Amino acid sequence: MDETYIVKTETISEAMDEYYADIELQNQLKQNTNQLQQSLKIILKRTRNKLAKQQKALEDTTNADKYKLYGELLTAYQNNVPKGAKNVELVNYYSETGELLKYR
């Protein structure tokens, strides 16, 4: 608030009161501005964290259908998969062409 203005007062005491009241107002405004900036920084940080978590959840759900298919096929062919197998190829019975899916 670098605004200059003139206030007419009757006494020096009134002028000083006016001056210090103006300084107090400026200080209060600065303090409120700083508090608001801090609050906004905190809200922005929380919002960014929430967005990151939601994006991670979205990525996880995009893979959910793939993992569901893998689970169904492994359950359907569980007797054909040797115990302890690290890799297996199973026929995808949902596919029209009967493609083989590789699991690792």
Tell me the torsion sign for CA atoms 24, 29, 34, 39.
Answer: positive
Residue 1 lies in a domain: no
pLDDT at 38 (0 to 100): 98
Residue 6 lies in a domain: no
Residue 42 lies in a domain: yes
Measured from the Cβ of residue 81, the count of other Cβ atoms closer than 10 Å reads 14
Spell out the per-residue pLDDT of the chain, length 104, in tens: 567 778 888 999 999 999 999 999 999 999 999 999 999 999 999 999 999 999 999 988 888 888 888 889 888 888 888 888 888 888 888 888 878 888 77
CA distance 64 to 57: 10
User: Looking at the 3D structure of the chain, how many domains does it have?
Assistant: 1
pTM, whole model, 2 decimals?
Answer: 0.53
Query: Which domain range does residue 41 map to?
Result: 12-103
| Both tokens assigned to 46 | 């929380």
pLDDT at 2 (0 to 100): 63
Q: Which residues contact 1 (CB under 8 A, 6 or more apart)?
A: 26, 29
Residue at token pair 């003139």 = 6
